[in-house]
Amino acid sequence: MPSARLVALTSHQLGLRLPEALELYVTAMGYPPGTAQQRAPMWVGHMSRPGWRCVAALDDEDRMLGISYGYVGAPKQWWHEQVHKGLATALPPPAVRLWLEDYFELTELHVRPMAQGRGLGEALLRGLLAEPAPAGRVLLSTPEGPSRAWRLYLRMGFHELLRNYRFSGDPRRFAVLGRELPL
């Protein structure tokens, strides 16, 4: 496998590489063709959110092997509202407030299948959440089931907050995981 280097990308830099990043995302997630065009406006919208950060893994020829990004979560954002609804069924109100009052939403973290299993996911996670910590906690959602991502998050100290949750518009089951920052 080619070597990889981590680089922080500005929203402008990711915008220039958005087709490549979305192709990586679709490939890593096994999504059907057309998903990239559907997700592009969402990714562009995320880039303007407070606290947005992005880290990519690039090979020696500047090809993207991995991508991670997120931002500070807040009420009235779609994911925040969905997670609030789910957590309210699983945790007491004070715990829901605690998790959702000061958090960084790890929105995307993907590694090309041919580059998986070599530590890039952990490197991307550490790079994205490096000091200074973007918030007091980090939250994410990941599809249920055994996967490299699931094992990575548990190894990195994430806790299960919600299991078998269905986001509106998606038939798959997800888990919501969280942990205190810094890593």
Average pLDDT per block of 10 residues along the chain, 183 residues long: 87 98 95 91 97 97 98 97 97 96 97 95 97 94 90 96 93 95 94
CA distance 14 to 12: 6
Q: What pLDDT, on a 0 to 100 scale, did the predictor assign at position 146?
A: 85
DSSP H helix total and E strand total for the chain: 7, 7
Give, for 41, the enclosing helix (H) or strand (E). helix 35-46
Per DSSP, 133 falls in state P
CA distance 3 to 35: 29
In words, the CATH class of domain 4-180 is alpha beta
Q: Which one from 25, 71, 103, 153 is the annotated catalytic residue?
A: 153
Per-residue pLDDT tens over the stretch 115-141: 999 999 999 999 999 988 899 999 999
Q: What pLDDT, on a 0 to 100 scale, did the predictor assign at position 170?
A: 83
Residue 10 has which token pair?
Answer: 């500005």
CB atoms within 10 A of CB 68: 26
Q: What pLDDT, on a 0 to 100 scale, did the predictor assign at position 97?
A: 96
Residue 116 has which token pair?
Answer: 């998986």
Closest CA to 68 of 46, 41, 36, 86: 46
Q: Is 153 a catalytic residue?
A: yes
CA distances from 173 to 135, 143, 176 (A): 27, 6, 10
Task: Assess contact for 73 and 35: CB atoms under 8 A.
Answer: no
Task: Assess contact for 55 and 127: CB atoms under 8 A.
Answer: yes
What single letter denotes the amino acid at residue 4? A
DSSP β-ladder status, 103-111 and 137-143: parallel
Residue 99's SS3 state is: helix
Closest CA to 68 of 121, 116, 135: 121
Q: Please state the domain extents for the chain.
A: 4-180
> Dihedral through CA 50, CA 149, CA 160, CA 135, nearest 10?
-20
Q: What pLDDT, on a 0 to 100 scale, did the predictor assign at position 2?
A: 59
